[in-house]
Amino acid sequence: MSFMQNIQNPEGLKLFGSITSPYVRRLRMLMQNIEHEFVLVDIFNSRDRTAIQAENPTLKIPMIMDADQVVLDSGNIYRYLTKKHSLPELTVDEENVLTSIDAVNDALVQLLILSRSEIDVSADKLYFRIQRERRDVVFAHLEVEAENGRFEQWNYLSICLFCLLDWVNFRNLHDFSDYLTLTKLYDSWNQLAICHETDPRVE
C-alpha cells in the first residue's frame, strides 16, 4: 500500500513517522506488542507533507490513525494507547521527568534544524544560550534522577530517556559521557533487542 493509500484507508492502527525521530522511536518501542502498521513519513518531503496535512495540520510526527481516530503528538499518543490497552500510567513525578526529557530533546531538535539551515548555533545569541543552558541543566537533573534510581525499571520513561541519549549520540549533538550513571544506563539498555531493532543506523 502506498503512503497516500495509507492516509486514505485508515483501517487498523497505523503509526506514521520516521526511523530517525526519537519521538517516533519511543512509540515504536512502546507498541512492540501492539499490532500496528508503521508508515514511513519524510516530513521534509513536500509530497508527504501535503498528504498528511488534512489530518495533521501541525505537519509534525509522530501521529497515529486508529480506524477513524487521529491522534497527534507523542504525549497524546502515549496517553491514548495507555488508556486503550490498559498500559501502566506515569505518575505525576514521572510526568515531570518526561517533561524534562522532552524539553532538552526539543531544544536540541531546534538547534539541529537551525544548524542544517546554515545558522551558527554556537554564536553568543540569547536564543542559543537558552537552549544550551536548558540542555546542561536537564542533563544534570537527569543524572541525579538516575543516581536516585528513577530509571531502574525498563518502562516508558526509561524508553524515552534511552531514545534521547541514543539520538544525541546518533546526531553527535552532545557528549554526556561525564554523566556516569546516565552513561552506564545507556550502555546497558543499548544491549536490548528492541533497541537494536529500532536503531536508525542500521535500518
- Domain tally for the chain? 2
DSSP letters along 108-160, please? HHHHHHHHHTT--TTS--HHHHHHHHHHHHHHHHHHHHHHTTTT-S-SHHHHH
Q: Whole-model pTM? A: 0.93
Q: Which of 63, 85, 107 is the C-terminal boundary of a domain? A: 85
With cut-offs at 50, 70 and 90, classify the pLDDT of residue 103: very high
Using N-to-C axis directions, what is the helix angle for 156-171 and 180-189, rounded to 10°?
100
- Check whether residue 13 and residue 71 sit in a common domain: yes
- Check whether residue 77 and residue 102 sit in a common domain: no
Mean pLDDT along residues 140-154: 98
Distance between CA atoms of residues 123 and 13, nearest Å: 44
- Check whether residue 96 and residue 189 sit in a common domain: yes
Q: Flag whether 58 is in a domain.
A: yes
Pairing of the two strands 13-17 and 37-40: parallel
pLDDT tens for residues 17-58?
A: 999 999 999 999 999 999 999 999 998 888 888 888 989 999
Distance between CA atoms of residues 100 and 139, nearest Å: 9
Contact 159, 18 (CB under 8 A): no
- Check whether residue 107 and residue 46 sit in a common domain: no
Domain that holds residue 81: 3-85
Secondary structure (3-state) at 45: coil
Q: Flag whether 202 is in a domain.
A: no
Q: Which of 85, 103, 125 is the C-terminal boundary of a domain? A: 85
Average pLDDT score, the chain: 94
